[in-house]
Each structure stands twice: as structure tokens, then as C-alpha cells.
Structure 1
Amino acid sequence: MAKQFPALHDQHRAFIEAQHIFFTGSAAADGRVNVSPKGIDSLRVLGPNRIVWRNLTGSGNETAGHLAQVNRITLMWCSFTAQPLILRCYGTARAIHPRDADWAALDGLFAPSPGARQVFDVTVDLVQTSCGYAVPFFEFAGERDVLEKWAENRGPEGITAYWRDKNQSTLDGAPTGIFDDL
């Protein structure tokens, strides 16, 4: 049932672009594995082996911390509609922060967001599809605006304070790099 590809094909890209949610997976050599759902308009396929996703401020910053230790990441999409399919992209990634030279270009691929924290530039080295026959049907009802409103209400200083309080280390205490070189 599973098929593997060295790169994304046009039908994979179309499938990804049609999904309303995706999941990220990362882990350091030791400690907890992180799986996180992502939504909103936060992902772009830039080529057959390149995906960027903008990470908004949240309760943790596990992906950045894990990538700083062990550079591996998995992105996953699954269809909750008529076409049963699971698609995973395996690879490596680098975290781009607002202080980095290529921040403006990559963050500029998305609508402005006061909570933008990183853009992850993912290099895909393996694409795998599988059947998705056991994934249930769900209907998309719309995007939540809670996170955007939360970030707007905090403002830039409040977001920075939140990063200092909640986003400098992983659950296992590893640094996330959010304030490196500042």
C-alpha cells in the first residue's frame, strides 16, 4: 500500500495544497517526541524537495529545539474527505528567525502575522504515501482566529515577553535558539 518517492510530484503538491491541517513531528536524540497540528495559511511547497512553513507563537517551541539538536523532521497530511490518503515528507530543516537575513523573503510568502516566530525551511529527502483507509471523515468548518487575536492583543513587546517565558527551551530543557545572537 505504501509508496515512496524521492521528491514531491504534482499530484502530491495538489493534495498538500487542498488540506486544511498538517502535522509536524520532531525529536531530539533523547527525550520526548513532539507531534503538533498546524493550520491557518502557514505552508508553501516551493519545489519538489522544498517546503517552508511559518510557525506562529504557541505554548511550546519543541520543533526549533529538536532541530538544533538532531536535524530531522516529518510533515504529515491526511485526507478527511473522499480521497483516502496519507502523505508524509521526511527530511531536514533549518529554523529562520526574524533576526536572520532570509526572514523577510520567507515570511513574506504569507500574510502578515504578529505572532510569526520562525519559518522552517524543510529539505525533503523522502515522500511516502499510504492508503489512509482508516482515517475517518470530517468536514472542515473554518479556520479559528483565536491565535491571531491573541498575538494582536499582546503586541510585539508582549510576544517577546511570552517567548522569554515560554519558548526558550523544550519540555526536556534544551535551548530553542529563539534569542540566539541578540
Structure 2
Amino acid sequence: MGKNFQAILPEHELFIKQQQMFFVGTAADHGHVNISPKGHDVFRILSPNKVAYLDLTGSGNETSAHLSVNNRMTYMFISFEGNPLILRLYGDGTVILPGTQEWEETAQHFNILPGARQIIISNIEIVKTSCGFSVPLYSFAGERNLLLEWADKKGEEGLEEYKKKKNSTSMDGIVTPIGHQYD
């Protein structure tokens, strides 16, 4: 039942925009595989073969660490309401940090939320859809704003200290691009 495509088609774009969350998957050459859920309005389709998302400060930074070693990346969108469908985007991932020319160019596509720490940009090679028949139905009740409120309360200095402490190295000891800023 799965189908492969070489680019994001208009019907794929519509499906992606209807989803309230997505997942990103990465892995380095060794250590743990990471799958992270993402909420809020942080995902953008830049072209049929290029996407980006605004990554918010969190308790870890595994995606960024993995991409600095092995830039393979998968995005997954799942229909929890309506017709069943799973859509995956396979490609690469590159970390863009604030203060760079790439950030200035790419950040224009986003409403920069409190706690924004980096943008992940990806070139997409394969779009794959599958049935999603076994995915349960869930109803969307709303966004959790706890992370945004936490980032607002921490302030810029507090966030910098937090990122230095919690986002500089992965759980497997891989230094992230944020960590390289503090070398």
C-alpha cells in the first residue's frame, strides 16, 4: 500500500499542513537512535524538495548532535483524525544557528517563538506514504504552551546558560553545533 514520490506533491503539502505534530528521526554512526515529537507551528515547506523547522530549546539536543556526524534524517506525519495516512520525508538535515547569514535568510519563513535555538533544514529525496490503518484516532485538544512559557520566564541569559549546560553534548557524548560555540 505504500507509495514513493520524488518530491512533495500538493496533496502531500495539504496533508502536512493539517497535522498538529510531526516526528523527526536521526541517528549517529554509533549510540542511540533518536525520535523527537514536534508541536507548534514550526514546520515549513520551502520547495517540493526542501523543508525546514524551527527547533525550540529542550532538555536535549540529540537531533543536532546526530546531524553533525551523520546528516540522514526522516520526518514523519501521522493522521490521528480523519482518513488514515502516514507520510514520511527522507533526506538530510543541516543545523542553522542564530547569528549566521543562513539564519537571517531562513528565519524569515517563521514566527520566531520563545526558546528558538536553531533551524533544521532538509533536502528531501523521497516522500513515502503508507496506509496508517492501525493508527488510533485521537482528537486534538490544543497546544501545550508550557515550553514557550518556560523559555519566556528563563529569558535570553537563562536560555543561553541552559543551552550551554543541556544542549552542548548529546547523551552519547557527541558535541552539538551549539556546543562548538562554547569551545
The answer, yes or no, to whether TM exceeds 0.5 is yes
* Corresponding residue of 1:160: 160
* Corresponding residue of 2:96: 96
Contact persistence 2:167–2:179 (CA under 8 A): no
* Corresponding residue of 2:171: 171
Superposition CA RMSD, Å? 1.0
In the TM superposition, what is the alpha-carbon distance from 1:46 to its structure 2 partner?
Answer: 1.0
* Corresponding residue of 1:107: 107
Contact persistence 2:168–2:180 (CA under 8 A): no
The percentage of aligned residue pairs carrying the same residue is 45
What TM-score results when the alignment is normalised by the length of structure 1?
0.97
What is the correspondence of 1:3-152 to structure 2 with a 5 Å cutoff? 3-152=3-152
Please identify, of 96-105 and 160-169, the stretch whose mean Cα deviation from structure 2 is larger. Answer: 96-105
The letter for the 2-side match of 1:58 is G
What is the rounded CA distance, in whole Å, between the counterparts of 2:155 and 2:105 in structure 1?
22
What per-residue deviation string (whole Å, max 9, x for no partner) do you get for residues 23-70 of structure 1?
Answer: 000000110000010000100011110111000000000011000000
What is the rounded CA distance, in whole Å, between the counterparts of 1:181 and 1:25 in structure 2?
24
In the TM superposition, what is the alpha-carbon distance from 1:179 to its structure 2 partner?
Answer: 4.2
The letter for the 2-side match of 1:2 is G
Dislocated runs of 4+, deviation >2 Å = 179-182
Please identify, of 106-115 and 147-156, the stretch whose mean Cα deviation from structure 2 is larger. Answer: 106-115
Give SS of 1:104's match. helix
In the TM superposition, what is the alpha-carbon distance from 1:106 to its structure 2 partner?
Answer: 1.7
What is the rounded CA distance, in whole Å, between the counterparts of 1:154 and 1:107 in structure 2?
22
Contact persistence 1:24–1:74 (CA under 8 A): yes
Contact persistence 1:114–1:156 (CA under 8 A): no
The letter for the 2-side match of 1:144 is R
The letter for the 2-side match of 1:101 is Q
What is the rounded CA distance, in whole Å, between the counterparts of 2:112 and 2:172 in structure 1?
31
In the TM superposition, what is the alpha-carbon distance from 1:111 to its structure 2 partner?
Answer: 1.7
Please identify, of 38-47 and 98-107, the stretch whose mean Cα deviation from structure 2 is larger. Answer: 98-107
Pairs aligned (count)? 182
What is the rounded CA distance, in whole Å, between the counterparts of 1:143 and 1:54 in structure 2?
16
What is the rounded CA distance, in whole Å, between the counterparts of 1:22 and 1:181 in structure 2?
28
**Any stretches of 5+ residues in structure 2 without a counterpart?**
none
